Amino acid sequence: MHRDDAACPRRQLRQGLLWRWALAAWLAGGLGGAASGLWPAPALAQQQPAQLAQPAPAQSQDGRLTQPQLEQLLAPIALYPDSLLAQVLMAATYPLEVVQAKRWLDQGQNKELKGEDLSRALEAQPWDPSVKSLVPFPDVLNMMNEQLEWTQRVGDAVLAQQDDVMNTVQVLRGRAQANNQLQSGPQQTVTVSQAAPTAPASSTTIVQAPAQVIAIQPTDPQVVYVPAYNPSVVYGSWPYPQYPPAYYPPPAGWGVGNALLRGMAFATGAAVVGPLWGWARPGWGRGDIDVNVNRYNSINVNRTQIASSQWRHDAAHRQGVAYSDQAVRDRYRGSGAAGAEARDRAQAREQFRGRVDQAERGSGPVGGERRPDAGQRPGLADRGPSGGGRADAARPAQRPSVAQSGRPQVSQPRPQTREAPAGMQGIDRGGEVRAAQQRGSASRQAQARSQPAQRPQAARSGGAGGNRAAARGGGGAGGPRR
């Protein structure tokens, strides 16, 4: 009896732990996405690493995103009103301008601008109309700026698989409606219609268009409510464990509280800015985006105008951001863009190698033009009777000294290998020295006539030969030869 009494508390403790473990497991399985989306139970938290460790399915053979990848990517915005969704999809193809718009909005009093004042202030900005049209929705613009990698991936998917993107949005809307999470109300109006007959899907289409089209419009045409929702809740049981849906919670200032646990929540509505709203909408069933040409051009005043009601990506607004693959780059920048870039880079490398080779051979410095060596530089006789250049300025005092020294004047080519020291320049160039002597003589005779008292000083300025003549009491460098 003593042992049984001692073992009883331990038995009760084990039973209590087993009961708590069973309750935790039941909560994890019963609450589903609501529990796992915000506060995962211990048992579920232990299972997640094993799921993430599973090998993810590869992309399609041509590099495009698969349907699970597309659903994961578009889950956060698939339930936006149609016009806002179209603006987000177009603007995502210009990620750098999205960043610029967010920075502009944070400057000065720009956040206080409303209505027509905001529209006029945006006219001076060079961004695409889709980016300008997101400025009245600062929370959306901020989310795209903070999640810049996600934004660029959305834009890449739009450029490479626009029809798949549109079909995926309809698949997600149908799933949310089947889960009783997409309904009409004071903030939005949801309509369902049969898809219009279209041409057979292309062989490259990955996501097939559903049989029905679900459209979302603001209930009040003058106010747009941006929904906030946890994809793990509104879409029900997620069918792709390897690709859990992206979730970017709304700012804390929304004050939605526990509404996200039940499904969709809305913050304060944003007033419509007339010129910036309602000019684009998805072309359901056709896999494109329809635009109002006149309103687009009015937003894009004094810039590139369009004539087609079907949206086309403008590579100029890409501002150098790389495209996702070769096919997309060729489509929007021309088939020769990649080859031209490669040729330019190769040519630049060859030019640099050539300059380095010249420097190593002594025929020119790196990055500069070839300089003539000492034997190739033009002499004074080649420059005409007036001389000129830096050589005249550097050597006038030394040239007359050769004539006064009485040394033989032999004209012969200068050595090509090295340049004579500065103090010996002019010794082996009799013709040049005689020409310089005549110019110096004429100059000094003119100075002697105008200033006779300063003639010795002029003689001293004639260089070494003039100094020796002055010491013997003779005339200047321009005097008669002895």
Please report the DSSP string for 210-223 in residue order: PSEEEEEEESSTTE
Residues 124, 232 share a domain: yes
Residues 244, 118 share a domain: yes
Angle, CA of 386, 387 and 390, to the nearest 5°: 140
- Are the C-beta atoms of 64 and 206 separated by less than 8 Å? yes
Burial class (CB in 10 A: 0-12, 13-18, 19+), 9: exposed
Q: Tell me the β-bridge partners of 192.
A: 214
Is 429 contained in some domain? no
Instruction: Write the CB contacts of 131 (distance below 8 Å, at least 6 apart in sequence).
Output: 91, 94, 97, 98, 100, 101, 317
Taking the C-alpha atoms of residue 362 and residue 372, their distance in angstroms, rounded to an integer, is: 10
- pLDDT score recorded for residue 447: 67
Residues 178, 230 share a domain: yes
- pLDDT score recorded for residue 35: 34
- Are the C-beta atoms of 60 and 233 separated by less than 8 Å? no
Confidence of residue 205 (pLDDT cuts 50, 70, 90): confident
Most confident range (mean pLDDT) of 283-292, 342-351, 382-391 is 283-292
Find, among 73, 75, 86, 71, the residue nearest to 234 by Cα: 75
- Are the C-beta atoms of 400 and 477 separated by less than 8 Å? yes
Domain that includes residue 167, residue range: 67-327
Residues 250, 350 share a domain: no
Confidence of residue 52 (pLDDT cuts 50, 70, 90): very low
The number of angstroms, rounded, from the C-alpha of 229 to the middle of its chain's C-alpha atoms is: 31
**pTM for this prediction:** 0.60
Confidence of residue 449 (pLDDT cuts 50, 70, 90): low
Instruction: Say yes or no to pLDDT of 207 above 70.
Output: yes
| Residue written as token pair 């069918």 | 239
Is 220 contained in some domain? yes
- pLDDT score recorded for residue 28: 41
Residues 235, 359 share a domain: no
Is 415 contained in some domain? no
- pLDDT score recorded for residue 261: 75
